Chain A
Amino acid sequence: SQTIHQWPATLVQPVGSPLSLECTVEGTSNPNLYWYRQAAGRGLQLLFYSVGIGQISSEVPQNLSASRPQDRQFILSSKKLLLSDSGFYLCALGGRTSTNEKLFFGSGTQLSVL
C-alpha cells in the first residue's frame, strides 16, 4: 500500500530564514506529487505539482519553490521565509490511470513564521 512520509510535523522559523520540507512516498512508482497549503480555517491551495523527476509546475507565484530530485521525493523550499508563508503544508500523491486517481495526503507540517 502507498505510504507518504512528511516531516517535520511542526516547525517554527524566523522571518528571513530558509525552509526545506521533504516528502517521500513508498509503495508506488511514477506518481503525481503535489504540495498544498492550508491557512487556518480555510480550504486547500495547490502550490506545486510534479508529474516526474525534475518536472515541476507552479500554480501560485510566491516565495516558495519545489524540486523533485527522485521519483518518490518531493521537496518544498524557500530561501527567505515571509510571515505570509505560515500555514499547514500538505504533500499528496495521486495516480495516473483511471483506476488510481484518488489523492492521498501526508500528515502535514504546521509552519509558523515569526
Chain B
Amino acid sequence: GIQVEQSPPDLILQEGANSTLRCNFSDSVNNLQWFHQNPWGQLINLFYIPSGTKQNGRLSATTVATERYSLLYISSSQTTDSGVYFCACRMDSNYQLIWGAGTKLIIKP
C-alpha cells in the first residue's frame, strides 16, 4: 500500500519565523489533506489539496502530484501554530486515508 512520510519529525522555531513541512507519498493519490492537531487534541482540517496550490491566511500548501510530495508553508509563526501537523493521503477507490507520523511544531514566544 501507499507509504506516507513526513519531515521533519520535530521543529522548534521562534515566533515570527517561517516554516516548511514536507509530505512524501509513494504512489498516485486522488486525495491529500493536511491537518493540525492542537495541544488539546482537536484535529482541524487545513487543506484538501490533491494537486496545485492553496492559501488560507498565513498558511499555504502545494502538492506536486507527479513528483509525489506536498509542502505546507507557515509564515510569521505564532504560538497558536504549535501542535502536530499531519498529512494524509488516499489512492483511488479506497476509503482509507493513510496517515503520516506527523511533524511536531513548537513555536516559542
Question: A residues near B, CB below 8 A?
Answer: 32, 42-44, 46, 49, 51, 57, 59, 88, 90, 92, 101-105, 107-108, 110
Contacts and interface: CB of A to CB of B under 8 A. Distances in A.
A105 B86 contact: no
A57 B96 CA distance: 11
A88 B95 contact: no
Interface stretch (B42-50, B58-66, B73-81): B42-50
A43 B100 contact: yes
A103 B99 contact: no
B102 interface: yes
Contact of A110 (B41, B86, B97, B100): B41
B53 interface: no
Interface residues of B, number: 18
B72 interface: no
Contacts, number: 42
A43 B86 contact: yes
A101 B31 contact: yes
Interface string B26-53: 0000010101000001111100100000
Contacts of B99: 43-44
Minimum-distance CB pairs A-B, first 8: A105-B43, A102-B48, A44-B99, A43-B101, A43-B99, A108-B41, A102-B45, A101-B31
Contacts of A92: 43
B95 A51 contact: yes
20 contacts: A42-B101, A43-B101, A44-B99, A46-B96, A46-B97, A49-B96, A51-B95, A88-B41, A90-B43, A92-B43, A101-B48, A103-B35, A103-B45, A103-B88, A105-B35, A105-B42, A105-B45, A107-B42, A108-B42, A108-B43
B45 A43 contact: no
Contacts of A51: 95
Contacts of B88: 44, 103
